[in-house]
Chains A and B, each alone.
Chain A
Amino acid sequence: GISAPVVYFVDYVTNSIYLEDIVDSITVQDHINSVQQSGSDTSSLLILAEKMGELLARMHDEDLIHGDLTTSNILLRPPTEKLDLVLIDFGLSFISGLPEDKGVDLYVLEKAFLSTHPDTETVFKALLKAYAATSKKSGPVIKRLDEVRLRGRK
């Protein structure tokens, strides 16, 4: 129940996976950049942040750790306004129920987010708020996120 490209075919000979191509999609990274460049208020990004928070909450509740969360690993299906998100690039993903792993997952995204998109602290805050509200197990995860931040671990 997590939005990701559909697996069409797995070739064990060449070790390749054939996935759905999401035509005319853009990365969240490109979307945020274009919104900021067009001079629009970042408040329009708050709903996007909420949707991202909800998606990640559902993913973590299934104990799935993405491992490489960045805004270029989340796509927006066209039309962009619908804010239909798709997670991609699970090359570093693994299963874990540990709040530590989930906290680190979010921390990686936070660092990537804030370093790629200046002045988006409020946006990320909205993401975490939605995450906490959606996830059934968010308490310990947010706590670990705070601890990881203090440790300054990458």
Chain B
Amino acid sequence: MDLRHQLELFPDCSVTLLLFNHVKNAAALRKKAMEGSIEGALINPAMIVDPFQILVAANKAVHLHKIGKMKTRTLYAEIIFSLSPNNNISDAFKKFGISDSDTAVLIVLIVDREKTVNLEDIASQVEGQQVSLDELPQLTDTAKVKKMYKVTPQEEKIGTLLDSIVCRMSTKDVL
């Protein structure tokens, strides 16, 4: 039901993804996230095309966290920021974080390999149905994603949408 993936470059870290649909308390969840009273990065699944996109963001966030060079204040905020193709933090939260009216939420957790994480505890705070990550493509708003990442039709002929997105995420500091 959930996806737990170990980061190759940071083997003691594993990334867990939980997907929820028919969510009724997005506003409350967003508030909890802002207060820091819920564990995890709460992301709008409409902007995600593939779990790999999250792994790339998480990898970058963990790396920056380890060297003390994060641009945001918490690891989870950094993951959301890393998803963005630009360097505007509040824009990243607006576009990739959840909004009060959202009915689907993707929760990303980073756990130390030794520790077990209480997924039920987090899931119980969501008033919605936990679904398999296989349902993610159905929740993706491809048009919105292409617009956000400014993907050209020319590019789409050469590679996948995921390729274009990952490139922008990983090279935004250079451009």
**Cβ < 8 Å to B, chain A residues 9-56:** 9-13, 18, 20
A7-B158 contact in complex given A1-B152, A13-B67, C-beta closer than 8 Å = no
Does A9 contact B56, Cβ atoms closer than 8 Å? Answer: yes
A9-B152 contact in complex given A1-B158, A2-B158, A3-B158, C-beta closer than 8 Å = no
Closest residue of chain B to A6 (Cβ to Cβ) is B163
Q: Kindly identify which residue among B155, B170, B174 contacts A1, using a CB–CB cutoff of 8 Å.
A: B155
Does A9 contact B170, Cβ atoms closer than 8 Å? Answer: yes
Number of interface residues of A (CB under 8 A): 13
Q: Kindly state whether residue B157 has any CB partner on chain A within 8 Å.
A: yes
Q: Kindly identify which residue among A6, A10, A18 contacts B173, using a CB–CB cutoff of 8 Å.
A: A10
B167 contacts across to A, CB distance below 8 A? 6-7
Q: Kindly state whether residue B65 has any CB partner on chain A within 8 Å.
A: no
B50 CB to nearest A CB, Å: 12
Does B171 contact A8, Cβ atoms closer than 8 Å? Answer: no
Number of interface residues of B (CB under 8 A): 19
Q: Kindly identify which residue among B59, B154, B174 contacts A9, using a CB–CB cutoff of 8 Å.
A: B59
A22 CB to nearest B CB, Å: 12
Closest residue of chain A to B166 (Cβ to Cβ) is A6
Q: Kindly identify which residue among A1, A2, A6, A11 contacts B63, using a CB–CB cutoff of 8 Å.
A: A11
Q: Kindly state whether residue B11 has any CB partner on chain A within 8 Å.
A: no
A7 contacts across to B, CB distance below 8 A? 166-167, 170-171
For B64-95 the 0/1 string (1 means CB < 8 A from A) is 00010000000000000000000000000000
A88 CB to nearest B CB, Å: 14
A3 contacts across to B, CB distance below 8 A? 158-159
B158 contacts across to A, CB distance below 8 A? 1-3
Closest residue of chain B to A62 (Cβ to Cβ) is B154
A residues lining the B interface (CB < 8 Å):
1-3, 6-13, 18, 20
The 6 listed contacts between A and B (C-beta, < 8 Å) are A1-B154, A7-B167, A8-B56, A8-B166, A9-B63, A9-B170
Given A6-B167, A13-B67: 8 more A-B contacts, CB < 8 Å: A2-B158, A3-B159, A6-B163, A7-B167, A8-B56, A9-B56, A9-B170, A10-B174
